[in-house]
Structures are given as C-alpha cells and as structure tokens.
C-alpha cells in the first residue's frame, strides 16, 4: 500500500512478539496483538503501562527491541514513520506553531501530493467545526480547539490506521461526547481501523469495539467492553475498569455448576463458568451496582449471596445514584451503588445492613487480590500527590 493514495479501507494491525527496552527499564515485556481491519480498538491502562510506547512503535517513532509489526499484512517493522500508512493524533497535539490551522491540516496531503489539499483541509476543518478559524495560528486557539485541529490534521489523510493518543483529554464533557460520536461516525463511514490509547475507562468502553487492558507492559485482558466489565479475569482489570468488591477466601466446595468460597464464615457462591480457578485460595468479586442493600437479614436462598450484618460508614449522593460504603466485620468494606429510583431503602450512616447479590453476577479471578490495594483511599491529598508523582515519573520514563 502506497502512502501516495488514500486508504480504501482500514488495515489489519498485527504485533508479533513485540518487546521494547529502554536503557534502564522495559516498557513492553512481550506483546502479541491482532487488531482486525475496521475495528475501533482501545488500549486502556494507567500511566506508564506501556500503551503510549505501543502506539509509538506502530507509528514508527520508536523501533522495537524485538518482534514484528504488520499493517495490512505488510511487514513495516523496518520502515520509517513517514512511509507508514498511519496517522497519529498526539496527546500534546504537536500542531506546528509556525503554520496556520489550515496549513497544519493540509501538511500531510501536500507531502503526499494529493490534489486540492486546501479544499480537503477546509472540509476536514468543517467536520470539526473550526473552518472559521482556518487562518489562525494554533497558539491563538483554546486547548479543546487545538485538539480538534489535531484530529482534523490526522483524519484528513484517511490513513489505513489512525492512532489516537488520549486525544479527547482536554475537552469538556459536552464537546467530548460530541467528538466521541464524531470519531465513531467517521470510523464507521470510512471503515478505518482506529487504535485508541487512553487511561479513561469510560471513554474506552463507550467508543471501542474491543478493549485491551494493559498493565506493566503486558495485556491483562482483552475483549468487548461489556464482556470485560461483566467478567474481569484479574484483580487489576476488576479495579481499573470500574469498581469491584473483591473477597478472598478458600474454596469450600465445588460442583459442576458453581464453586462456593468461604469468606469470613459466610458462603459466597460463584458460577463455575465465571470463575477462573476452582480450587485453593481464590478472589471472587461483584460490581457495586449489582449489590442490594437490605435492612433486615434475608432468608437463606441458593440464588443469592448474602454478607452481613455490617454498618454503613459512608453515604455519598451523586444524583443518579447513591454510593454506600458498608463495613462488614471480618470481610472489610463493600461498596454499593443504589439507583435513586425511589425504591429500596434510603439509609443513613451507622445503620445496620446486609448486602446481597444474585449468584450469576459474581465472578472469580485468576489472581489473588492484594488486600491493601483493594480499597486504598485514593482521595486524600498525600496519595493524590504520590499518584501524580508516579504518573510524572512514568511520563518521563516514557519520553
């Protein structure tokens, strides 16, 4: 495929045994990944997990230590960035400060000698609703506008593969939704392959067909967003993608249909098909919105798990739902999201409650959760500062 012409359709991306080492640390341990043509693929992970490095490898801005990269079946491992049918929307936008917005958008088209570069650039700017600012310099635009220009500059080239490096980070919620929709529309219309790198799980889940959760240079789990959310395989995925209540205990009994785990004296049953491990010490979990709060001890039932009694230690109202945190002796804390539909109990702090959830919503993990990391308070200033520092260090390392 020549870079001289527009991609007719998206191309497959295949990463085979990719490893990337930098002096002093390994960014990517071992990565095998196939992204089918025309899909919207999100690489989700915390800062420093190697997702941006993966993106840069695909763009040709870094060379892998070992492994091969194939785009549309063609091995591009040895080719330079400008020879790859790939465009990137950079996290820093990287708009050329010495060119007008229009010149920025037309840059790629001119390099490929595609006719009517300016006309097409105007068209792309109209798409992101910035055509009226075509003659401005990037520095005269707001952060959100710059981001849209960066997007226009990439999609105007109709690349076989579009790489997005946290491209919607600086947008406000409304514009973000609008751009998400816009991106989705463009992707469906043209059938391009999108590889989206983000740490925003909501963005990944709403936009992508397939999400791969990355941690410490390797992919932890990959699948459709709903699948990942409903059935996380590791404690990292369970906590990074939404919230989870995780309980660790020994398997006390198992049948073909279900396993039951001993959690501080109580039995928690998980369908065998939803549990990764069936013997020994295991971690099981449930999503907070699947859990119901009860004022009275419920009757024992084989299709519900019950834990309690415990006390409500925190109630926070967020409009659509209310989040309760229940401390259960011997078990720890359980988070419950209750929809504010008017049904169900409304309780205050200190009230004695039981928590219950249907057996079919539980899941069993492949690893054992670290108890300390489970509900680490991440809202106090010291931990935010520590987290920020870690992010910065990770960023520096990535650079």
Partner 1 sequence: MAFAAFQTAEVVPQAPRKRSRIALFLLLPGLLYLVLFFVTPLISLLLTSLQQPAEFGDIGQYEYAFNWQNYVTVMSDYWPHIVRSFGYALAATVFALLFSYPLAYFIGVKARRWPMLQGLMLVLVIAPFFISFLLRTLAWKQLLSDESFIITSLKALSLMAPDAHFTGTPFAVIFGLTYNFIPFMTLPLYTTLERLDLRYLEAGSDLYANPFTVFRKVTIPLSMPGIVAGTLLTFIPAAGDYVNASRDFLGGPDTQMMGNVIEANFLVLLNYPAAAALSIILMAAILVLVGVYVKRSGTEDLL
Residue ranges in contact with partner 1 by CB under 8 A: 3, 59-61, 80-82, 86-88, 90, 92-99, 107-108, 111-112, 138-143, 146, 153, 157, 170
39 three-class SS: coil
- Could you tell me whether strands 193-198 and 210-215 are parallel, antiparallel, or unpaired per DSSP bridges? unpaired
What is the smallest separation between the CB atom of 379 and partner 1, expressed in angstroms? 25
The answer to whether the beta carbons of residues 285 and 365 sit under 8 Å apart is: yes
What is the smallest separation between the CB atom of 90 and partner 1, expressed in angstroms? 6
What is the smallest separation between the CB atom of 165 and partner 1, expressed in angstroms? 11
**Residue 375, token pair as written in the block:** 């509900």
The answer to whether the beta carbons of residues 308 and 284 sit under 8 Å apart is: no
| b/e 300-322 (16+ beta carbons within 10 angstroms → b) | eeeebbbbbebbbeebeeeeebb
Give 169 or 309: the residue with its C-beta nearer to partner 1: 169
What is the smallest separation between the CB atom of 34 and partner 1, expressed in angstroms? 23
Give 106 or 246: the residue with its C-beta nearer to partner 1: 106
Give 108 or 364: the residue with its C-beta nearer to partner 1: 108
The answer to whether the beta carbons of residues 290 and 334 sit under 8 Å apart is: no
Give 23 or 350: the residue with its C-beta nearer to partner 1: 23
Residue 125: in which H helix or E strand, if any?
Answer: helix 117-127
How far is the C-alpha of 63 from the C-alpha of 255, rounded, in Å?
50
Sequence-distant (6+) residues with CB within 8 A of 392 are none
What is the smallest separation between the CB atom of 392 and partner 1, expressed in angstroms? 15
What is the smallest separation between the CB atom of 32 and partner 1, expressed in angstroms? 25
Give 61 or 127: the residue with its C-beta nearer to partner 1: 61
How far is the C-alpha of 206 from the C-alpha of 181, rounded, in Å?
10
Give 164 or 258: the residue with its C-beta nearer to partner 1: 164
């Amino acid at each position: 495929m020549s870079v001289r012409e527009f991609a007719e359709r998206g191309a497959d991306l295949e990463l085979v045994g990719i490893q990337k080492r930098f002096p002093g640390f390994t960014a990517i341990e071992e990565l095998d990944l196939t992204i089918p043509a025309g899909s919207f693929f999100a690489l989700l992970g915390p800062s420093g997990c190697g997702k941006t490095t993966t993106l840069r490898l695909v763009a040709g801005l870094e060379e892998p230590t070992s492994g091969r990269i194939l785009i549309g079946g063609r091995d591009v491992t040895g080719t330079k960035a400008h020879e790859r049918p790939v465009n990137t929307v950079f996290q820093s936008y990287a708009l050329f400060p010495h060119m007008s917005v229009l010149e920025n958008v037309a840059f790629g088209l001119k390099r490929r000698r595609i006719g009517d570069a300016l006309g097409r650039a105007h068209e792309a700017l109209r798409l992101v609703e910035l055509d009226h600012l075509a003659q401005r310099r990037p520095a005269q635009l707001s952060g959100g506008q710059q981001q849209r220009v960066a997007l226009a500059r990439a999609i105007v080239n109709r690349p076989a593969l579009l790489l997005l490096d946290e491209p919607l980070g600086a947008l406000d919620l409304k514009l973000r939704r609008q751009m998400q929709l816009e991106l989705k529309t463009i992707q469906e219309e043209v059938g391009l392959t999108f590889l989206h790198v983000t740490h925003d799980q909501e963005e990944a889940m709403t936009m992508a067909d397939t999400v791969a959760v990355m941690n410490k240079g390797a992919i932890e789990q990959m699948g459709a967003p709903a699948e990942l959310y409903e059935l996380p395989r590791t404690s990292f995925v369970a906590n990074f993608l939404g919230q989870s209540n995780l309980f660790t205990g020994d398997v006390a009994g198992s049948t073909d249909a279900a396993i039951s785990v001993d959690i501080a004296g109580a039995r928690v049953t998980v369908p065998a098909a939803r549990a990764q491990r069936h013997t020994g010490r295991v971690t099981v979990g449930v999503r907070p919105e699947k859990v119901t709060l009860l004022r009275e001890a419920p009757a024992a039932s084989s299709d519900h798990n019950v834990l309690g009694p415990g006390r409500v230690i925190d109630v926070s109202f967020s409009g659509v739902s209310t989040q309760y945190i229940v401390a259960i002796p011997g078990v720890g804390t359980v988070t419950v999201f209750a929809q504010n539909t008017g049904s169900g109990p409304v309780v205050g702090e200190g009230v004695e409650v039981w928590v219950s959830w249907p057996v079919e919503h539980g899941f069993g993990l492949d690893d054992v959760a670290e108890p300390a990391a489970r509900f680490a308070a991440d809202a106090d200033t010291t931990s935010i500062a520590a987290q920020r520092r870690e992010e910065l260090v990770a960023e520096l390392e990535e650079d």
